[in-house]
Structure 1
Amino acid sequence: MRILFISDLHYTHETFHGIYQGLAWSWLLDIVYRTKPDLILSAGDWDKGISREEFEELLREVPVLSIYGNHENMEVLKQLRNPLLENKPVLVEDGEVVEVEGVRISGISGVLSKTGKPKRGVPRKTEEEYIEICKKLRPVNFLLIHEAPAIPEFEGIIKLNPHTKTVLECLKRVKADLILGGHIHETPYTIHLGEFKYLRVDSSQRHRAYGVIDTEERRVEVFIDKKKVKEFEY
């Protein structure tokens, strides 16, 4: 199976990190047309510009499974279902395992905060809630997360606060072939091949990064727009 992995599309008709994001949806459709995936996986942050009409047009072409991040139109995301995937919801519940052509996919949505209270209509989690979900995760091929882990590749790029350390401890115990994440925008992508394998991409118009995964060859190609910049096996 061929999977297109994106995160942080940030589709709005405004600027994000100083860059206009109104072209994000047409850019995504172009990527889908060129890569011809069997499935799209997203680590969240579609943002408030998504509409049910545009998304359902995409879903008629290719199934999508996604978690939510911290910039979302939750009302739209919760309504979306996959007509090409037995009408399964687009939004993967925390810890739920969805199987597609023998490939097992799960996720943990959102970001962490001290109180766990929603912000801008998007739920958040406390560290305790995150750990409890992590303990219940079953072995999967792909795990989608949004919050960043405290891995060496992020040192000097982001603040490795207690939240990122909690995520790191979670990922150390997870049994997943590959963990797919987002949330960080300082660089186009991050690859960690230590005790667990992790790929993070920024698919916003700032970096236009994404991954193409071949599940038969267990190979990942990382692209920035139309240029392949990295390749690794998982």
Structure 2
Amino acid sequence: MATNDKQPVDPVVRARRQRIRRKRARQSVVFGVLIAAMALAALGAVAIYNGAVSMPFARGFSSTVIPADDPIVPACLVEGKEKPIGYKKVRVRVYNASERRGLAATTAKSLEERGFTILATGNVKTGVQNAKIAYGAKGVGRAYTLAAQIPGVVLQYDARTNAQIDLTVGQGFDGLIPEDEVKLETGVPMNNLPGCQPLAELTPAPAPASAAPTEDATASS
């Protein structure tokens, strides 16, 4: 007569085995979810990197945008064919209209290294955001020659009677154009700026009273 040698499982052991099975099942689910999430994140990163998907709430590195200066109608060159003025003949006063200490001095030094003649530096209180060149009827060619060195500069024609010009730089000014990228050639006539008008058709702004800096140039510019 056959006998059944299978012994009954202890309830404690059975409960323990069930807990282990449930624990392993939960771990499998958790690991599966984590792997799926990592795979989705990797796919999303690749899509954003390739430009297929835009990153939500993406912003630039800079949260401060400094506006450009309002456009000003520049004067046209005399007969539209004036050649660049020798840098040494371009006499410039450089003014700092920003809160950046030393901006006028460093800009003047950069211009001087290129051969421009610097008359003065100082600080002024104006609404210039990037850069502005002020010039009179005798300084149109000089203003164009200087403007070729400065990205985004605007030109302001005023009633001064001499050939010297003023450069005012503001908070958004980011330095001169690299010298090897300046589009001027000795002996080659310069091009008129877009939207220019003949001097006779422009109303000059008032001439600067003295163009003196508001603070000591060597200490604060």
Q: TM-score w.r.t. structure 1 length?
A: 0.23
Q: TM-score w.r.t. structure 2 length?
A: 0.24
- Between the two structures, name the one with larger relative contact order (CA 8 Å, sep ≥ 6): 2
Highest Rg: 1 or 2? 2
Structure with the higher helix share, 1 or 2: 2
Structure with the higher strand share, 1 or 2: 1
